[in-house]
Structure 1
Amino acid sequence: MTDQTIETTSEDERETWPALVKGFRCKCPNCGEGKLLHSYLKVNDSCSNCGQQLFHHRADDGPAYLTILLVGHLLAPALHVSYVHWRPDPWTMAIGFSVACVALSLYLLPRLKGAVVAYQWARRMHGFGKTA
């Protein structure tokens, strides 16, 4: 067990926060230049700039859950505040918050998927192991 600990501390570290920022920008977590996604949510098999293999990811439903969590935590207080302070017409609130919910969800979903893939890359999860 000691040999494994020494071995993992000597190998090059992958910084988590810079990788998350690159992933949120939908860029390769390794170089920050190549595109991470093509079409809307499909992850490229490899980076066009540095050649980093990206097909190992296992994002699954994580980005969708994170999107729901963030959108709900942002819009629920906004709904309460707007109702208490301005008392808009119910249809106005329903339409306004529905549009805001859809727009925010569509904006955040690919960015959070990029961040999840980048986190997996930084932590060497699911095949993003020692050889990169």
Structure 2
Amino acid sequence: MTAEDRAVEDGTQDGARSKTTAALRGLMGQCPACGRGRLLRNYLKPVDHCAHCGEAFGHLRADDAPPWMTILIVGHIIIPAVLSVEQRYEPATWVHLTIWPLLTLLLTGLLLPRCKGVVLGLLWSTGAPGSERA
């Protein structure tokens, strides 16, 4: 495989890393470099390195960005839904206290690893050093 083929495959040209490609691959839980290996083992723990291409990810630290993004997205979904249901149907308080916390937890659980993947992909694409390299 030539360097040009590798650049086309991993979304890079002239050594530049595509932020869009890296973010989308991270969203899907794939290695931002090759798109084939897994980015996360378990729920939120990043792999030390890609099993397919060997790219290292253990040094990248997403810190508070993924939870912040998740709260922002879930809040923008849940709050309009709560207000809309309240205005249209006027359900009892116990219905609100049953439905919305469960839906919030479900959405948070589904979105948090994807947000972490996006952040890790973007960190990788910018070449940001992790805490071990700083």
1:68 to partner: Cα distance: 1.0
Q: Output the TM-score relative to the length of structure 2.
A: 0.84
Query: Structure 1 stretches (4+) deviating beyond 3 angstroms?
Result: none
1:56 to partner: Cα distance: 2.0
CA-based RMSD of the aligned residues comes to: 1.3
How far apart, CA to CA, are the structure 2 residues paired with 1:24 and 1:92?
33
1:80 to partner: Cα distance: 0.5
The alignment status of 1:69 with 2:59, answered yes or no, reads no
Q: Output the TM-score relative to the length of structure 1.
A: 0.85
Instruction: Provide the identity percentage.
Output: 36
Q: Residue 108 of structure 2 corresponds to which residue in structure 1?
A: 105
Q: Residue 46 of structure 2 corresponds to which residue in structure 1?
A: 43
5+ residue gaps in structure 2? 1-12
1:108 to partner: Cα distance: 0.5
Q: Residue 7 of structure 1 corresponds to which residue in structure 2?
A: none
How far apart, CA to CA, are the structure 1 residues paired with 2:84 and 2:25?
33
* Letter matched to residue 78 of structure 2: L
1:82 corresponds, among 67, 81, 85, to 85
5+ residue gaps in structure 1? 1-9, 128-132
Local SS of the residue matching 1:58: coil
Report the count of equivalent residues: 118
2:128 corresponds, among 113, 125, 128, to 125
How far apart, CA to CA, are the structure 2 residues paired with 1:112 and 1:84?
31
Partner deviation per Cα, 1:68-111 (whole Å, 9 max, x = no partner): 11111111111101100111111111211111000000000111
Q: Residue 5 of structure 1 corresponds to which residue in structure 2?
A: none
How far apart, CA to CA, are the structure 1 residues paired with 2:129 and 2:98?
41
How far apart, CA to CA, are the structure 2 residues paired with 1:126 and 1:11?
20
Q: Residue 53 of structure 1 corresponds to which residue in structure 2?
A: 56
